[in-house]
Chains A and B, each alone.
Chain A
Amino acid sequence: MSERSLIVLQRLTAMVLAPCVIAHVAVIAIAFRDGLTAGEILGRVQDNVGWAAFYALFVIAAAVHAPIGLRSVLVEWGALPRRMVDIVMAAFAVLLLITGLRAVFAVVWGAP
């Protein structure tokens, strides 16, 4: 993927992630406030396509955003060769995508 695409994707995913993070923090705060048990949390999200779509979008945006950011860190602070960093970060993106979507599936539809 070109450097240009990565620069643009980092900003676009940031714009998707900002409202997602606000919503997620709100969900966490409400869960803490109401002292929700596991059953209650699951009761609210299970079999709910809206929640599934929201968290799937969240996961996809994060799986693109995090590796691009970490890539700069590894090049600048790790002093690692760019090619190597690119390969490792592509693998990291795939890892985030698979584990993340699996987690969304597990939360909304039970055991994968």
Chain B
Amino acid sequence: MTDTIPVRVWRGGDAGAFQTFDVALRDNQTVLDIVTDIQRRQDPTLSYRFACRVGVCGSCAMTVNGVPRWTCRTHVAKVAAEGVLTLEPLRNLPRLKDLAVDMTPFFDKWQKAGGTFEGRKTRDDAVDPVKPGSRARKAADAAIECINCAVCYAACDVVDWDPDYLGPAALNRVWTLVNDRRHARRSDTLDKAAQSGGCGSCHSQGACMRHCPVGLSPTESIAGLKRALLFSLLGGRL
């Protein structure tokens, strides 16, 4: 007889309800292990998303006991102190079925934010060296490891309140681009960051940086974009 934990899982789309499963507890069990256990042993119709299981692909994020998390690197023992797990799909995205959300708006806004690199050189030119110790490179470094899991997007209240807000991840990406000295269209990129629903909509509540599973700080990146806008004023751009 093994110990079990009651797991409340959201079933259905926008209209739906919680269904409770009792799942056997194991050592070093992750929340993703729990979901997989339910699908394999109790209900094969349970829908959820995952790929790598090791915190690289960013596809398994869900709401775990009210907090957005990457489930593959979240240990049950750490988050189920009260002996219950409640699993819901990510907030702020359309619910498809069970624990899977439609990520389209998240990636559409990524495009709208204009985080697309454009180089100056061709393949015939010599490689443009980026000094690892330079200020811009360090700023980009601090923001560059995003895995597109949308945990920050789910944690952000402004995303919830303002459907036009581009969100922390997309703007964080723009900040890395602004700091890339090889990028040919820095000024245009900054213009896009200032669009309606852009960096001006962030109020530094900091939920994105508190919840980011890989320890990035989109709040800091967006503050950097606002600072860049202010300094661009000195160059006569308003």
Name 10 interchain pairs, CB-CB below 8 A, sorted by A.
A2-B238, A4-B194, A4-B229, A5-B238, A7-B199, A7-B200, A7-B229, A8-B230, A11-B226, A76-B158
Q: Which of chain B's residues has its CB closest to A77's CB?
A: B161
- Which A residues are in CB contact (< 8 Å) with B238? 2, 4-5, 8
A52 to B183, CA, bound (A): 49
CA distance A11 to B231 in the complex (A): 12
A82 at the interface (CB under 8 A from B): yes
Counting CB contacts under 8 A, is B20 at the interface?
no
Contact, CB under 8 Å: A4 / B191: yes
Asked whether any CB of chain B lies closer than 8 Å to the CB of A72, the reply is yes
In addition to A4-B191, A4-B237, A11-B226, 6 A-B residue pairs with Cβ atoms within 8 Å of each other are A3-B198, A5-B238, A7-B194, A7-B200, A8-B230, A77-B161
Q: Of B158, B199, B233, which is in contact with the most chain A CB atoms at under 10 Å from its CB?
A: B233
Report whether B196 and A82 are in contact in the complex, using a CB–CB cutoff of 8 Å: yes
Q: For the complex, is B111 an interface residue (Cβ under 8 Å from A)?
A: no
In the complex, A97 has a CB within 8 A of chain B:
no
| CA of A6 to CA of B203, assembled, Å | 15
Interface pairs A-B: 5 shortest CB-CB: A4-B194, A76-B161, A7-B200, A3-B196, A76-B162
Give Cα distance in the complex from A7 to B233, angstroms: 11
Q: How many residues of B contact A (CB 8 A)?
A: 19
A residues in contact with B164, CB < 8 Å: 82
Q: How many residues of A contact B (CB 8 A)?
A: 15
Q: Which of A61-112 contact B (CB under 8 A)?
A: 72, 75-77, 79, 82
CB of A8 within 8 A of CB of B233, answer yes
Which DSSP category, helix, strand, loop or mixed, fits chain A's interface?
helix
A8 to B194, CA, bound (A): 10
| Chain B proximity of A88: nearest CB distance (Å) | 16
Which B residues have a C-beta under 8 Å from some C-beta of A? 158, 161-162, 164, 191, 194-196, 198-201, 203, 226, 229-230, 233, 237-238
A residues with a Cβ closer than 8 A to B are: 2-8, 10-11, 72, 75-77, 79, 82
Residues of A within 8 A of B161 (CB): 75-77, 79
Chain B residue contacts of A2, Cβ below 8 A? 194, 238
Q: Return the contact of B162 from the options A4, A8, A10, A75 (Cβ within 8 A).
A: A75
Q: Compute how far the CA of A82 lies from the CA of B233 in the bound complex, rounded to whole angstroms.
A: 25
A3 contacts B230, C-beta separation under 8 Å: no
**Nearest chain-A residue to B163 (Cβ)?**
A79
Give CA–CA (A4, B195) in the complex, Å. 7
Chain B residues near A6 (CB-CB < 8 A): 200
* Alpha-carbon distance A22/B129, docked complex (angstroms): 49
A residues less than 8 Å from B198 (CB atoms): 3
Instruction: Looking at the assembled complex, report how far the CB atom of B175 sits from the nearest CB atom of chain A, in whole angstroms.
Output: 15
List, in ascending order, chain B residues with CB within 8 A of A79's CB.
161
B188 to chain A, nearest CB (A): 12
Minimum Cβ distance to chain A for residue B203 (Å):
7
